[in-house]
Amino acid sequence: MDNNELKKKIIELKEKRNAVIVAHNYQVDEVQEIADVVGDSFALSKYCASVDINTIVFCGVHFMAESAKILSPEKTVLLPEIDAGCPMADMVTAEGLIEMRKRHPGAVVVCYINSSAEVKAESDICCTSSNAIDIVKKIKEKDIIFAPDQNLANFVAKQVPDKNIIPWNGFCITHHKIKAEDVLKIKEIYKDSLLLVHPECKPEIVELADFAGSTKQIIDYATESKHENFIIGTEMGVLFKLKKQNPNKTFYLMSQGLLCPNMKKTSLQSVYNSLNDMKYEINVDEDIRVRAKNALDRMLELS
Ligand code: CIZ
Ligand code: SF4
């Protein structure tokens, strides 16, 4: 089947299954095009919980579909590509976090949404890249274990210097490999552009940027800005929405390496297969789900 045929079949199947398709900002263009909603992981999970529909096709990576299931246990959550994981989320385990907590008694454990349900269950509170600074500011305790992203931890520590942030040593394989010398070169080429980066980049890259924020914050910043040219320092999938919302502005990717192989696994064919065969269903053990949901609920209370 070609793409047009696939799109038609997907729409038919979606109605038949009473399903909704959600896609992360890092998905390939054609998957974003057929999705009912495109956004960041937490916004999508909240949307999934709010819709009166029983099947969700989550075009993203494993922890995102899991977060949707944590908030919507009564719904069927499908991940089209079962091997689409997040290497950063896999860098921390529940056991590891329990060990770290023992070494820092009294510290509050904050986990980035890029983590497994088991890790969320062992955490006191979750955060996203949009609200990490805000959440940390509102925690009363001084000592805060922050997992798994060392770069986001560093970013938060700089903005909230009165806290003692104890970072886990994880990182995003896509954002972490970008080198400052390459960023300096592209800044030199596109001198009149603003540099917008994700805080999953290394601190020296964030230092070079005009703005650092989540995918949503980057998209909103560029859309609201009077500026016309931007260098974008996050996964290339965001260019789809940036260009769609801003047809008269110009966007350059900070590095051709800004591609998440796991996010790129989902294709129209896999979305079609997902709806046709009702696969791959994501489930979370009820005890873990309830504890993980507590961490997400606490984030909502504080943000
Ligand atoms: O929470 C998300 O969706 C991620 C992984 C990134 C972002 O900035 O939106
Ligand atoms: Fe994980 Fe990085 Fe891919 Fe996001 S871009 S899903 S953090 S590997």
pLDDT tens digits, 117-148: 999 999 999 999 999 999 999 999 999 999 99
Please report the sign of the dihedral spanned by the C-alpha atoms of residue 55, residue 60, residue 61, residue 66: negative
Kindly tell me if the per-residue pLDDT of 109 is higher than 90: yes
Kindly tell me if the per-residue pLDDT of 249 is higher than 90: yes
On whether 129 is known to bind a ligand per the annotation, the reply is: yes
Cβ–ligand 2 distance for 238 under 6 Å, the answer: no
**Portion of the chain with pLDDT greater than 70, in percent:** 100
Cβ–ligand 1 distance for 27 under 6 Å, the answer: no
**Residue 291: which H helix or E strand, with range?**
helix 286-302
Quick one: which of 13, 55, 61 has its CA closest to 34?
13
At residue 131, the pLDDT reads 97
Q: Determine the atom of ligand 2 nearest the C-alpha atom of 86.
A: 1
- Condensed to tens digits (0 to 9), the pLDDT of residues 13-58 reads 999 999 999 999 999 999 999 999 999 999 999 999 999 999 999 9
- Condensed to tens digits (0 to 9), the pLDDT of residues 270-302 reads 999 999 999 999 999 999 999 999 999 999 999
List the residue whose alpha carbon is closest to atom 3 of ligand 2.
260
What's the 299 CA to ligand 2 centre distance in angstroms? Answer: 21
Q: What is the dihedral of CA 12, 65, 216, 303, to 10 degrees?
A: 130
pTM assigned to the model: 0.97
* Predicted ipTM of the assembly: 0.97
What's the 171 CA to ligand 2 centre distance in angstroms? Answer: 9
Q: Beta partners for 59?
A: 23
Kindly tell me if the per-residue pLDDT of 214 is higher than 90: yes
Average pLDDT in the chain: 97
Q: Which ligand is nearest to the CA of 198?
A: 1
- Condensed to tens digits (0 to 9), the pLDDT of residues 59-100 reads 999 999 999 999 999 999 999 999 999 999 999 999 999 999
DSSP β-ladder status, 164-167 and 37-39: unpaired
At residue 303, the pLDDT reads 84
Quick one: which of 260, 201, 262 has its CA closest to 231?
201
Q: What structural domains and CATH numbers belong to the chain?
A: 3-86+263-283 (3.40.50.10800), 89-171 (3.40.50.10800), 180-253 (3.40.50.10800)
Which tokens is 116 given?
A: 């497994």
What's the 245 CA to ligand 1 centre distance in angstroms? Answer: 19
